[in-house]
Structure 1
Amino acid sequence: MDFGPKRVQLNIVNKFYKIIIMNKFLALSFVLIQFVGKSQFTNVKLPLPKKASYPYSQVEPSIYINPKNNKEVIAGSVLNDYYFSKDGGENWAAKSIKSKKNGVHGDPCMLIDYKGNYYYFHLSNVKGQTLVGGIVCERSKTIKGRFNKEGHTLVNGKFHDKEWVACNKNNGHIYMTWTQFDVYGSKDPSNRSNIVFSKSEDLGKSWSNPVDISYFDGDCIDDDLTTEGAVPAVGPNGEIYVCWAMGSKLYFNSSLDDGKTWLNKELEIGTQKGGWAIDIPGIYRCNGMPVTVCDISNSENKGTIYVNWADQRNGKENTDIWMKKSKDGGKTWSDDIKVNTDNSKKHQFLTWMTIDQSNGYLYIVYYDRREHEDNKTDVYLSVSKNGGTSFKDYKISTNSFTPNPKMFFGDYTNISVQDGAIRPIWTHLDNSIISLYTALIDQKELD
C-alpha cells in the first residue's frame, strides 16, 4: 500500500528515525563501492530529508532520469519526500514537499517529460474526502522541485491506490492508470475495485474524466482478488498498453486512439499461480504485481510489449521473477520467461522493469536471497540485450541486509535507464533502520 500498513498509527515515531532525521538538506550522499565478478558498481545512499516525519520514510521509491540529460536524476519516496541529483546520482539533495490544500499522502511517481518538466505525482488526503480521496500532479520547471503551490487534483471522492504514469513522446500527453476502490478494505461483495485511466494534454494542468478500463472488477480487500498493478506503457505510434493482476491471472488492455476507446473486454494473457499477494519470510507484506513497458527504440524489437511480475508457481519457498512479451500489439503472447538465472530455489521478489529506449535493452531489478540460507537479502539486476530471449544477472547491492518483519518495507522497487545510464533504487532495511540506495551503473560495465 502507498503509505504503509493500515494497521500502523501515523503518530508512531521509531527512535531510530529521530537520529537519522537530522541529516542536512544538502548533505552529500554516502558512497560505497562494490566489486561483483569483473564489474564495479557504486552504491549511493540518498540523504533523509531534514523535515521527514513519517516513520517509514524512504520506502516505495520512484526514480527518473531526464531523457534529454542523463546527469539529471529525480526520485521520490513515501510519504512526501523528493530527491534530485545534477551529477548522475553521485550526490543528492533532499526535501519534503507540502501541499496545504490537497495533502501529500504517498505513492510518489516521478516523471520528466520530453520538454524538460519535472513531475511528482502522489496520493492525496483531500480535506473532506476519504483517507486517500485524490491524486495530485505536482509540476516544476526546475529540478530543485519548486512545484506548483497547490498541485492539480486529478480525482477525489473514492479511495485510490498505486497511480503510475507514462508520457507519449509523439504528442507530450501524459497517461495515468491506477486502482480505484469503492471502500478500501471492505469485505462487502457489493464494494468493488477497478482499473481506471485518465490523461492530460496540457502538461498536467487538467485531466480527463477517469474511465474504467477493467471489465472484470475485483473486491476491495486489497488481496489476490483485488485489481492491482496497473503500470501504463506507450508504443511507437502512441498506443497505450497496460497489464494488471487479479485472481491469479494477468489481464491486458490497450487503446490505439490516445485513450479515447479501449478493448470492450480486457484480455487474459497469463496466470500468476498463487496470486499477486505473496508471503516472503521477514517481509511485512509482499506482492508480485506486474509492470508493463514497450520498446519504442529503433532496435529489431521495436513495438514489442513486455510484462514483468513475480510469483510462487514453483513453491512458497521459491519465488521467481517472470516476463512475457507480445510482438503484435498484445494479440498474442509468448510463453513465460524466467528472468533470474539461478537454480537456488530461493526468493526473488518485488521486481520492477524498464527499457533503455536508445537500444531496446531490458533491465529488471529485484530483491534476491540466492546466496543465503536465512532472510539476508541482496539486490540484483537482470539484463537482456535480445528482447528477453536470455538474461544475465548482476548483484548490485554492496551489503546484504536482514529486514524486520514488523516494519513496513514498501510495495515496490524502481529503476530508470537512459542512454546507457542505469539507476535502480531500493529500500534497505537492516537492524530496524530504513535507508534508500541507488547504484551508479553504466551499460559499458555490463558488456
Structure 2
Amino acid sequence: MRTTNLEITGFVKRCKIQYLSFVLLFLIALPTVGQDFDLVQIPKPESATYPFAQVEPSIAIHPKCPRKMIAGTVMNDYYYSKNGGKTWKSSSLKTKYGVNGDPVVYIDQKGRYYYFHLSNPPSGNWIDRIVCDYSDRIKGKWNTSATEPEPPKAQDKHWVAECPKTGNLYLTWTQFDKYESKAPEDSSRIMFSKSIDRGVTWSDPVVISALNGDCLDGDNTVEGAVPAVNSKGELFVVWTGPHGIRINVSMDEGETWLTKEKKIIDQIGGWTFEIPGISRCNGLPILKIDNSKGEHSGRLYVNWADQRNGDDNVDVFCIYSDDNGKSWSEVIKVNQDESNNHQFFTWMDIDQSNGKLYFVFYDRRNYSDHQTDVFLAYSNDGGENISNVKISQSPFVPSQTIFFGDYINIAVVKGTIRPIWMRMDEMKISLWTALIDEGDLNF
C-alpha cells in the first residue's frame, strides 16, 4: 500500500554549549556540559492521529549509504531522510493488519527498508501477530507480511536482527496467553521466527524460553527479547524477567536452541521501576555483537538499567562476554557521574566499521528535581573506558500524566551517529535527533 508522504523540513538548531569557568578568588565547579552539536527537530506528520505521537522512536541508517536513514514512532508514523538527517519527510502507515505501535525500523545489507510493528486488525484480535512492512524504496511503497497468529494469545515487544552471513532476518518477542491476566494458569514466553526471503514470509513461531513469566507486563513477565548475530552466523537472544537477564543461543540459524536459557545477571529491583514524571519506565536489556575486524571482534555486549545503586538512583550498565556468553565481565557503569540521580531509557549500538560502542539515555545528574537531559556515552576500547557528553540543548520536565513510551534509540554506521529521542515541553511531545560524527567526539 502506498502511503501519502508529507515533506517536512526539520528545524535545525545549533547547540552552542561551552565550558564555563569563573575565576574570582577560587574556581566554581560546574555541572557536566555538552559539546557543539546540531540538533534537528523532526515534526510529526499531519496524518498522525495518536494523541501521544512521536514516542518510542526507532532509527536505522543505510549500511552502504549513511546519508539515507529512516525512523518510526508510535502509533504508526514513518520518517525518512536522504541527507543524513538534516531534513525529513514523513507519513503514516496503514496496513491490512492494522498498526498498533512498538515501531522497529531496519535497513538490511541490500538496502531494503523494514517497519515492524504490533497489529490491530479489523477482526478485533488486538496484537495477535508481529507485522513486517517492507519496501525497496525509502519513500515506502509498502508490502506486508506477518508472523502466524495463535489466537487468543497476544504478541508484544519485538525486535529484529539480520545475519551478516546469510541475510536471514530473525525476529523475537513476548507471547502472552492472555494479556494482563492475573490467572496463575496464564503465562508469558519468548518466541522466535525467521525469514529467509527478506521479510516476504516468516517461519512458524517457536518458543525459545524454558522459564516462563506471568501475563501482567511487569517484573515477573519475560520480556524485552533482543536478537543479535555474529559474523559466523551464530544467533543469540537476550531478555529479562523474574529469573534475571538471560540468554539463549542457536548455532544453526534458529533451528535448535539450548534446552534451557542461561542466566547472565540479576536485574536488581526488576525491569520496571518508578521514575518521577515518567508514566512508566523499564530497563529492558539490549544485545549487540561486535562484528568488526577490531580488537574486540566477536564480543557480546548487554546494556540495561536497574536499581542496584538504590531505589532513587537508577543507573545504566553494560556487561560483555568474549566466549559467546559462557562467562561475563564485571558490571560496567555507563553513566560516569557521582550523583544519586536517575539515568534511564538506555539504548546501545556498535559501529561495525571499527567496533566503537555508543549509548544514549536520559540523565538527571545535574538537577535536584525532574529536569532531564539526554546524554551520549561512547567507548573505543570495548567498554573499559567510557566517556559521557550531554547532547540535548536544554533540560525538559516530563509529566506523569502524558504517556512517554518505553524506549529511545540510536544507530551508528561508518562514523555517522544518530541518537533519537523524545522530549516534553508544556505537556507536548517532540522528536529529536543530533547530527554527530565520530570526529566530533573526544576519543
TM-score of the aligned structures, taking structure 1 as reference length:
0.93
1:62 to 51, 58, 61: 58
* Conserved? CA contact 1:248–1:274, under 8 Å: no
Q: CA deviation at 1:36?
A: 4.4
Aligned residues: percent identity? 51
Q: What pairs up with 1:147-166 in 2 under 5 angstroms? A: 147-148=142-143, 151-156=144-149, 157=151, 158-166=153-161
1:25 aligns with 2:25: no
- Once residues 228 and 90 of structure 2 are traced to their aligned partners in structure 1, the CA distance between those partners, rounded to angstroms, is 29
Letter in 2 for 1:442: D
Ranges of 4+ aligned residues in structure 1 off by more than 3 Å = 35-38
CA contact (8 A) 1:365 1:381 kept: yes
Residue of structure 2 aligned with 1:420, choices 404, 415, 418: 415
2:88 is the alignment partner of 1:92: yes
Tell me, yes or no, if the aligned pair for 2:17 and 2:393 is still in contact at 8 Å. no
- CA separation in 2, counterparts of 1:77 and 1:404? 19
Which of 156, 166, 176 is 1:181 aligned to?
Answer: 176
> Who is 1:80 aligned against?
76
Contact 1:111 1:118 in 2 (8 A): yes
The answer on whether the counterparts of 1:64 and 1:111 sit within 8 Å (CA) in structure 2 is: yes
In structure 2, the partner of 1:5 is none
Once residues 397 and 36 of structure 1 are traced to their aligned partners in structure 2, the CA distance between those partners, rounded to angstroms, is 10
Report the counterpart of residue 260 of structure 2 in structure 1: 265
Equivalent residue for 1:250, pick from 234, 245, 249: 245
Alignment partners' CA distance in 2, 1:40 and 1:359:
24
Q: CA RMSD in A?
A: 1.1
Rounded to whole Å, the distance in 2 between the matches of 1:429 and 1:198 is 36
- The 8 Å contact of residues 73 and 84 in structure 1, kept in 2 or not, is answered as yes
CA–CA separation in structure 1 for the residues paired with 2:351 and 2:146: 31
Q: What is the match of residue 359 of structure 1?
A: 354
Tell me, in whole angstroms, the C-alpha distance in 2 between the residues paired with 1:133 and 1:65: 29
> Are 1:364 and 1:383, in contact at CA under 8 Å, matched by a contact in 2?
yes
State the SS of the aligned residue for 2:7. Answer: coil
Deviation at 1:168, TM superposition (A): 1.1
Does the residue aligned with 2:94 lie in a helix, a strand or coil? coil
- Aligned counterpart in structure 2 of residue 389 of structure 1, from 384, 395, 402: 384
Q: In the alignment, which residue of structure 2 is the partner of 1:119?
A: 114
Q: Pick the aligned partner of 1:377 from 367, 372, 381.
A: 372
Q: Which residue of 1 aligns with 2:427?
A: 432
TM-score (norm 2): 0.93
Offset, 1:96: 0.4
User: Helix, strand or coil for the counterpart of 1:372?
Assistant: coil
Asked if the contact 1:248/1:276 (under 8 Å) is kept, the reply is no
SS at 2:309 equivalent = coil
The aligned counterpart of 1:330 is 325
Unaligned 5+ runs, structure 1: 1-23
- Structure-2 change in CA distance of 1:52 and 1:260 (3 Å): same
* From 107, 118, 142, the counterpart of 2:137: 142
Q: Show structure 2 runs of 5+ residues with no match.
A: 20-34
Alpha-carbon distance between aligned partners in 2 of 1:312 and 1:96, rounded to the nearest angstrom: 37
Indicate how the Cα distance of structure 1 residues 431 and 284 shifts in structure 2: closer, same or farther if over 3 A, else same.
same
Q: State the SS of the aligned residue for 2:67.
A: strand
Secondary structure of the residue aligned to 2:440 is helix
Q: What is the distance in 1 between the residues matched to 2:191 and 2:326? A: 21
Deviation, 1:300, is 0.8
Q: Secondary structure at the match of 1:444?
A: helix
Q: Tell me how far apart the structure 2 counterparts of residues 338 and 153 of structure 1 sit (CA, whole Å).
A: 38
CA distance in 2, matches of 1:37, 1:196: 48
Q: How many Å apart are 1:128 and its aligned residue?
A: 2.7
Counterparts of 2:171 and 2:289 in 1: how far apart (Å)? 16
Paired residue for 1:206? 201
The CA distance in 1 between the partners of 2:17 and 2:391, in whole Å, is 8
Residue of structure 1 equivalent to 2:440: 445
Q: Is the 8 A contact 1:351 1:364 kept in 2?
A: yes
* 1:170-212: CA deviation from partner (whole Å, max 9, x where unpaired): 1110001111111000010110100111100001011111111
Question: Which amino acid letter does the alignment assign opposite residue 94 of structure 2?
Answer: K
Q: Does 1:287 align with 2:268?
A: no
Kindly indicate whether residue 43 of structure 2 is the aligned counterpart of residue 47 of structure 1: yes
Residue 162 of structure 1 deviates from its aligned partner by: 1.1
What is the deviation of 1:153? 1.8
Following the alignment from structure 1 to structure 2, what is the Cα–Cα distance between the partners of residues 241 and 160? Answer: 20
1:315 to partner: Cα distance? 1.0
Q: Secondary structure at the match of 1:268?
A: strand
**1:248, CA displacement in angstroms?**
6.0
Residue 127 of structure 1 and its aligned partner are, at CA, apart by 3.2
Q: How does 1:215-230 map to 2 (within 5 A)?
A: 215-230=210-225
1:315 to 310, 314, 320: 310
- The residue identity in structure 2 corresponding to 1:114 is Q
SS at 2:431 equivalent: strand
SS for the counterpart of 2:253 is coil
